[in-house]
A = this chain, B = another copy of it.
Amino acid sequence: MVQAKTWILKQHFEGFPKDSDFELKTEQLSEPKDGEVLLEAVFLSVDPYMRPYSRVRMQAGDVMIGTQVAKLTALYGLEEVCAIKPGETLLVNAAAGAVGSVAGQIAKLKGCKVVGSAGSDEKVAYLKEMGFDQAFNYKTISSLEEALKNASPEGYDCYFENVGGPFSSVAIAQMKAFGRIAVCGGISLYNDTSPQTGPYPHLHMIFKQLKMEGFLVSRWEHKNKESLKRMLTWMQEGKLKCKEHVTVGFENMPAAFMGMLRGENIGKAIIKV
């Protein structure tokens, strides 16, 4: 008999998640029958999307969801949604996160100029190490508008959106004509109890003929095999680096999840069971 631990969503999150929203359960697994296998998880992942998805896909009492798709998300956002071209300028926010850091590096591999925003000086240093052309700490600048203008006075062709909220309003105003915005996430909005509001983007979208598209990585599942192969090659050649923020202990998963939502991680937040 094997003992398994699971984290249950005890109740739906209201506002920022709290310890009491989670419950650790232990269950006895029966011996695998003929034709069955029993797997042991060695590493697990916590991701921003788990916060909004829990509301849509889960009921209170369900085992918490979890998958790991950050690198493919970055690739498809750039290639399929933005259709980014060499020589173009990309803006990425939450750029030191699992998706943003990979998106920026892939855009560099494609011959683009990359500007990244992150929430600490340590993260900004990491982005520069990863080859970002420009990076800034959005928490310490005096004006986001000025920071974006200084980083790319000519504006932005593509914008990999992970944050939403006021950041997006300022960024949209600095897109070039025919700019493309891949809406991958909106981490600044996930814990709202009432929806945050901002200026309607219609006039910018019309005058500059901007395209804004939300996406889920699952849309291009048929491309995963080829995509993973391509990215593995980049990693083996040292062209693509992935940092991991490791939390030790299955018991610490909720803490790791909440820490990730607060931006405490650089790169992918994973849990070593």
Contacts and interface: CB of A to CB of B under 8 A. Distances in A.
B164 A207 contact: no
Nearest to A219: B209
A203 interface: yes
A214 B219 contact: no
5 contacts: A168-B200, A202-B214, A205-B212, A209-B215, A209-B219
Interface stretch (A178-186, A223-231, A262-270): A178-186
Count copies of this chain in the complex: 2
A176 to B, nearest CB: 13
Interface in A167-217: 168, 183-186, 189, 195-200, 202-216
A212 B206 CA distance: 10
A52 interface: yes
A202 B161 contact: yes
B211 A213 contact: yes
A165 interface: yes
A131 to B, nearest CB: 27
Interface string A53-69: 00010000000000000
A51 to B, nearest CB: 11
B219 A203 contact: no
A206 B200 contact: no
A208 B164 CA distance: 16
A165 B200 contact: yes
A189 B215 CA distance: 27
Given A56-B207, A210-B214, A197 B199 contact: yes
Contacts of A196: 199-200
Contacts of A210: 213-214
A43 B196 CA distance: 46
